[in-house]
Amino acid sequence: MAYTFLDLKTKLTTQVGDPNLDSTVIADAINYTQQEIFAKYDLTLNSDSQTNTITSGTSSLASALPSDFQRISSLRITLPVVNATDITERYMSPKEFRTSFPAIYLIGPPANWTFWTAIEFSTLVDQTYTVKIDYIKSIPLLSASTDIPLVPQAFEEMLMLGAKIRIYEQKEDFDYASQFQNRFADLVEAFTTRYSTRQVDNMVVIPGARGRV
């Protein structure tokens, strides 16, 4: 069965059964459900990575971060191999960083770092380094009829239920919307378990769910 934005809108319109419902409301309900899920959870599906460099004598990345960048998950030096290390935990808040390093003049390998509008390091690096940035990425809105949701088809029901809840709440039919809440929460729990970036401990608390993952 096809799994496109058009297919989902058609199916949702049929299930809601309101011929007067604006198509924009249907589209927004699907989009907002997907956006809400990926805004709450760090998942493999909305994770990506970039390889970048810090040029000798500088304290910032040589290239811009990806256009879909939202938040850094980890930061590692990968080259030269002798300097390879994970410096994720060396992050400092911008205020703390500015207080500790009001001027960048020390020369050495990348150490402490911060992020404001860009990644900044506390040293002018002594050679060119390659870094690997794992990050959480933004999710584009579905717009074209042939667009395919980032949520896999196996969890289509989750998208549909979330969209129904939004539609019935917009109609101010909160009692009818509430009948979908438990099933939706259970599916979100299963979804985030399946695609969590935390593969070992998986102690992610799902709001509204009846257990833990």
Q: What is the pLDDT of residues 58-83, one digit of tens each?
A: 999 999 999 999 999 999 999 999 99
In contact, 11 and 38? CB cutoff 8 Å: no
Residue 203 in this model has a pLDDT that exceeds 90: no
- Distance of alpha carbon 122 from alpha carbon 108, whole angstroms: 9
Mapped onto helix, strand or coil, the DSSP state of residue 137 is strand
In the predicted structure, residue 19 carries a pLDDT above the cut 80:
yes
Q: What pTM value is reported for the model?
A: 0.86
* Phi, psi (rounded to 5 degrees) for 101: -130, 70
Element containing residue 12 per DSSP (H, E): helix 5-16
DSSP string of 19-73? TTS-HHHHHHHHHHHHHHHHHH--BGGGEEEEEEEE-TT-SB-SSPPPTTEEEEE
| Number of other CB atoms surrounding residue 175 within 10 Å | 8
Structural element, H or E, at residue 85:
strand 85-86
Handedness of CA 185, 187, 190, 193 (dihedral sign): negative
Contacts of 39 (CB under 8 A, 6+ apart): none
Stretch 112-141: mean pLDDT: 97
3-state secondary structure of 186: helix
206 has a pLDDT exceeding 80:
no
Structure confidence by residue, pLDDT tens digits, 168-198 = 999 999 999 999 999 999 999 999 999 998 6
Predicted confidence (pLDDT) at residue 96 exceeds the cutoff of 80: yes
| Cα–Cα separations (whole angstroms), residue 53 to 86, 105, 110, 126 | 15, 19, 11, 13
Strands 124-125 and 107-108 come out as parallel
